[in-house]
Amino acid sequence: MVSVSFGVLAETAGLSPLAAIVMSAIVYAGSAQFTAIAIIAGGGGVGAALAAAALINSRFLAMGAALGPSLPGNAASRAAQGQTVVDASWVLASRGDGTFDRNMLFGSSAIQYVTWLSGTVVGALAGDVLGDPEKLGLDAVYPAFFLALLVSEARSGRPLGVAALGGAIALALVPIAPAGVPVLVASVAALVGLTRSARADARRKAEGR
Amino acid sequence: MSTSVALIGGCALITAAIKSVGPIALGGRELPDWFSSLVVLLAPALLAALVVTQALADGDRLAAGPDTAGVVAGGLVVFKTGSIIGCVVVAAALTAGLRAL
């Protein structure tokens, strides 16, 4: 469903069906693809779209670092194996003790790659038949998908506060900043959340707890 | 077409580079705590910004419409049931239904 929507919606950002399929084939990072497409469709530039995609991909730095010791071979080989990381395959491959089952990583990633790519093909080709994506409510799919990810990540505490601040920053900037920029600036909310966490930690230490 | 090429090529290179850094440079080494915390907090900030800029804005002006109602309904579904697919389906269906009225 999500990959089919990507195929259909890529057209709203001016991508041809072939371009949408190529993007899923060589990028293979759903949230980064959706983010980049959403910013272009909203009138943003390529620079803003790529910067937002890089930020949303930054979690792969942390995931790759955790995975590193479980991958054999030289640097190039480890980097190649690291390309198979997507959120679900990383979670499935994790043994829970800090090590990873790389066969599980490759296997689950391969299955998802096929699903992701074939869904995009269906969506991209169906786009012409389906007609106006807005009539079908497909423009609500991006924000709904992002909201679903947000709800599963940030139900309470610090992440919820950061989400509220990020949303407020973006809304405030929409009328005055070029498209795409409000989303980038909203990442400052994460820094604010971080400094507040650091202060809270320092206070706990100072109080000797 | 050149926009598509720049977007797709750029996105592919950035993603590949980011996925390579962890296993090569950081393998076996711990990331500093602040970095991991920052990465954890980046997702909610960016996701919330993406949701509001698409559900509550139209270009450079703030606007609520059928898609806003659809996204809110989808949000309730995922909050109650945890289903991402349910959220997306309800959001699209309600948005399409309201537009068809």
Q: Are residues A184 and A129 in the same domain?
A: no
Q: Which domain holds residue A184?
A: 155-209
Question: What is the per-residue pLDDT for A203?
Answer: 83
CA distance B19 to B39: 14
Q: Using CB atoms, which residue from B14, B40, B54 is nearest to A54?
A: B14
Cα torsion at A135, A137, A142, A146 (round to 10°)? 170
User: Are residues A41 and A95 located together in one domain of the fold?
Assistant: yes
pLDDT top residue among A69 and B68: B68
ipTM: 0.86
What are the residues facing B62 on neighbouring strands? Answer: B57
Residue of A60 and A208 predicted with greater confidence: A60
pTM, two decimal places: 0.81
Instruction: Report residue A180 as tokens.
Output: 């795409």
Say whether both A81 and A124 belong to one domain: yes
List, in order, residues 6 or more apart from A92 with CB less than 8 Å away.
Answer: A104, A105, A108
Does the pLDDT value for residue B48 go beyond 90? yes
Considering the domain architecture, whether residues A23 and A69 belong to the same structural domain is answered as yes
Among A145, A165, A195, most B C-beta atoms within 10 A, so best to mutate, is A145
The pLDDT of residue B66: 92
Identity at B11, one-letter amino acid code? C
Q: Which residues of B touch A26 (CB under 8 A)?
A: 8, 12
Across A23-27, A47-51, A64-68, least confident range: A64-68
Confidence band, pLDDT 50/70/90 cuts, at residue A1: low
Residue A205: what pLDDT?
A: 79
Distance of CA B22 to CAs A14, A33, A99, A110, A138, Å? 33, 21, 14, 20, 35
Total of domains in chain A: 2
Instruction: Return the amino acid letter for A116.
Output: W
Q: A135: which DSSP letter?
A: T
SS (H, E, C) B41-100: HHHHHHHHHHHHHHHCEECCEECCCHHHHHHHHHHHHHHHHCCHHHHHHHHHHHHHHHHH
Average pLDDT, chain B: 87
Judging contacts by C-beta atoms under 8 Å, the chain A residues touching residue B64 are none
**Percent of residues, chain B, with pLDDT higher than 70:** 92
Our CA-based measurement puts residue A130 at a distance from the nearest CA of chain B, in whole angstroms, of 13
- HSE-up of residue A208 (Cα within 13 Å, Cβ side): 0
Tokens of A88: 């679900």
Spell out which residues of chain A touch residue B22, defining contact as CB-CB under 8 Å: 60-68, 82
Question: pLDDT (tens digit, 9 = 90+) per residue, A187-199?
Answer: 899 889 888 877 8
pLDDT on residue B27: 56
Q: Is the domain of A138 the same as that of A173?
A: no
Confidence of residue B43 (pLDDT cuts 50, 70, 90): confident
Cα angle for residues A179, A181, A187 (degrees, 5° grid): 140
Average pLDDT over residues B80-97: 91
Q: What mean pLDDT value characterizes chain A? A: 87
| Cβ–Cβ under 8 Å, residues A121 and A21 | yes
As a whole number of angstroms, the distance between CA A139 and CA A107 comes to: 33
To probe the interface with B, which of A4, A39, A56, A61 has the most B CB atoms within 10 Å?
A61
* pLDDT in the model for residue B30: 65
Residue type (1 letter), A185: V
A22/A106 same-domain check: yes
State the Cα–Cα distance between residues B90 and B84, nearest whole angstrom.
10
